[in-house]
Structure 1
Amino acid sequence: MFDSRHIKTFHEVVRSGSYSGAARALGYTQPAITQQMKALERAVGSPLFIRVGRGMRLTEAGETLARHADTILTSISTAQQQMNAITRLRSGRVRVCAFPSANATLIPEAMARLAAAHPGVRVELLEGEPPESLGRVVRGECDITLAFTYPGLREETPAELVEIPLLEDQLTVLLPTGHPLARRRAVKLAELSEERWIAGCLRCRANFLHECAEQGFAPDIAFTTDDNLVVQSMVAAGLGVAMMPGLVLSFLCHQKVTGRALDPASRRRVSAYVLREHLGIPATARVLEELKTVAANRVGC
């Protein structure tokens, strides 16, 4: 393994034609130059220079190394510049995986803040629901995952991951605007026991069934879909009602749909998950900071 300092010194010796010339150019003593060249020759396993009168000439090994020295030093310099850009947040890439309602709410605000402060940092956005999205971080398919957990369900988080809590997202019920309970500020789940329901992703559905069981009834689930906009359209068409996360209210698109809080309140916890060693990567840490800021500024979640 070559020491880059020795390559730099060797390059200067070749350029100046002598140890003394390299010493003057680099600000070293001549014995220091000699010691570095001896160390480099030991690493190469062959002499690099031979004395010719008062001058010196490169050996075959020295000529080979000289042909590559410029490339080696240029590559090192380029690598240093790129690493400096990454550590100073002038560049970098972060892969973020989030569930749909977070992608529609938290992510755009956080990425806008990031782009304004650090335009060189690029974010690749993926979509996925837990628990599969947690596995993507462990497998190295993304750097950060946003996921949610419900207090009533026992859910295991991979031991390799660090959880950064973001917010408590209050659950809501989506009703057709003309529904009798739409005039209420809050709705008891048991009051909707006779309704037909539209259920969401597997984890949300499991929590929904758990909460209905706690209220003493089994819901009539007529449709299931992971698409929040499809749920809204179905509710607007009068095909059923739905229990949805409060984040969905931020992009409620149908005038024929009304969102009402549950009484008593029910919430899910939204968190970011990352491998512990990634916390020290500047771009990843900055994305996490922006997500925490945006989450803290959200009211009513």
Structure 2
Amino acid sequence: MIDVQRLRVLRSVSEHGSFNRAATALRMTPSAVSQHIAALERSLGARVVDRSTRGVTLTRAGRIMVGAAESVAAELAHATRMVERLGAGRTQLAVATFTSGGRHLLPGALTRLTSAHPGTVVHIREAEPEDSLPLLREGAVDVALAYHFDGPLPCGQGSGPEVEWIPLLEDPLHVVLPETHPLAGRGVLDITELADEPWVFGCLKTEAYLRRYAERAGFSPEVRGTTTDYFFARSLVAAGVGLSLVPSVALVPHVPGLRAVPVGPPAPARHVGAAVLRRRGDPVVSTLVESLRQSVAGAVKTSPARAR
């Protein structure tokens, strides 16, 4: 039988890349970490790490076992929360969300959830997808409201519990510019038309997208501001600092004096969705996902971009 503690040690060795750093994280001695790994290898009859002067790397068997360790950790965390719910006599739900999704999509969904399941205690954690999806795998949250652009989900596919991605919204990006800008009256804009403009951003990922697009188009954007809040970025546009790229969902509340113009093909968009672990069958989670679908439908109808 595989010892769960040994799997925990292997996860830490994988995460930190050495016995010494794993020992520090686990508050153990390096010798104890080494003994746990050796015992795990004996029980498996296979090496799980390759040791060298530069640290340790996982073998193929080690990678398989780390995936199993992540699954076990998530299941134990989920089971612990279920037992805590029994003891407390109240249903609890942990949700991780990115900022603009939490601001514009989640509140209405939570109102419908608590109406359908009175007494549910909801815990919210603000986190970008690269953090919220691992939290989901680890069992720290039940639902992750997340997004991705033109790349894959940052959830470490291939190891740990299987994540189910439930698409909710294609959230197109718009160029936000002052109403007095010569191009503000256009119905659609090609980003190459704005190659000489300065930019401010409300998200590192939209900046990364523009830099990739600009590189393919043969220009280098001048970035004058980087924030983690789209409303802040739009306020900087209103102050004349530069233009911005903003998803439809984050175009509210309206900032006077600004215009949002759709980006022409290939139109960039955020793919917004809810991530859950498969085979949980939790009715509260199912209700929240359905409530998020309703919030998305309402957000699309009332979007300033759709109203024009």
Q: Name the CA distance, whole Å, in 2 between partners of 1:101 and 1:94.
A: 20
* C-alpha displacement of 1:225: 0.7
SS at match of 2:231: helix
1:191 to 190, 193, 212: 193
Displacement after TM superposition at 1:99 (Å):
0.9
- Residue identity opposite 2:156 in structure 1: P
In the alignment, which residue of structure 1 is the partner of 2:126?
A: 127
Q: 1:154 to 1:218 in 2, by over 3 A?
A: farther
1:282 is matched with: 283
Percent of pairs with identical residues: 34
Structure 2 counterpart of 1:257, which letter? L
Match of 1:179 among 176, 181, 184: 181
Q: How far apart are 1:158 and its partner, in Å?
A: 2.8
How far the C-alpha of 1:154 sits from its partner, in A, is 4.7
Deviations 1:219-260 (A, max 9, x none): 1111111112210110110001111111112x2341022211
Among 231, 234, 243, which residue is 1:232 paired with? 234
Q: Which amino acid in 2 is paired with 1:168? A: E
- Equivalences for 1:244-255 in 2 at 5 Å? 244-249=246-251, 251-255=252-256
> Deviations along 1:52-76, whole A, 9 cap, x unmatched?
xxxxxxxxxxxxxxxxxxxxxxxxx
Change (3 A) 1:186 1:154: same
Tell me the residue number matched to 1:95: 94
Q: Normalising by structure 2, what TM-score?
A: 0.63
Q: Which of the pair has more CA radius of gyration?
A: 1
Residue 290 of structure 2 aligns to which amino acid in structure 1? E
**Equivalent residues in 2 for 1:1-301, closer than 5 Å:** 91-151=90-150, 153-159=151-157, 160=161, 161-249=163-251, 251-264=252-265, 265-278=267-280, 280-297=281-298, 298-299=300-301
Contact 2:201-2:230 within 8 A present in 1 as well: no
CA distance in 1, matches of 2:253, 2:238: 11
SS of corresponding position for 2:292? helix
SS in 2 for 1:142: coil
Letter in 2 for 1:206: A
Residue 155 of structure 1 deviates from its aligned partner by: 4.8
Aligned counterpart, 1:65: none
Which residue does the alignment assign to 1:14?
Answer: none
Give the Cα–Cα distance (whole angstroms) in 2 for the partners of residues 202 and 255 of structure 1.
Answer: 25
Mark the CA change 1:145 to 1:209 in structure 2 (over 3 Å): closer, same or farther: same
Give SS of 2:232's match: helix
- Counterpart secondary structure, 1:109: helix
User: How far is the alpha carbon of 1:94 from its aligned partner?
Assistant: 1.1
> Structure 1: which amino acid aligns with 2:131?
E
- Contact preservation (8 Å) 1:195, 1:240: yes
**Per the alignment, do residues 287 and 154 of structure 1 end up closer, same or farther by CA in structure 2, a change over 3 Å counting?**
closer
Q: CA deviation at 1:131?
A: 1.1
Return the alpha-carbon distance in structure 2 between the equivalents of residues 274 and 233 of structure 1. 35
| CA displacement at 1:203 relative to structure 2 | 2.6
Q: Secondary structure at the match of 2:183?
A: helix
Q: How many angstroms does 1:216 deviate by?
A: 2.7
* Native 8 Å contact 1:172 1:245 kept in 2: yes
Contact 1:232 1:252 in 2 (8 A): no
Stretch deviating more after TM superposition (124-133 or 154-163) = 154-163
Unaligned runs of 5+ in 1: 1-78
TM, length-normalised to structure 1: 0.65
Aligned residue pair count: 214
Query: For residue 214 of structure 2, what is the amino acid of its counterpart?
Result: C
AA partner of residue 195 (structure 2): S
Q: Verify the 8 A CA contact 2:113 2:284 in the aligned structure 1.
A: no
Let me know the Cα RMSD of the aligned residues.
Answer: 2.4
- Distance between the aligned counterparts of 2:215 and 2:146, measured in 1? 24
Greater displacement, 122-131 / 217-226: 122-131
Question: Does the residue aligned with 2:219 lie in a helix, a strand or coil?
Answer: coil
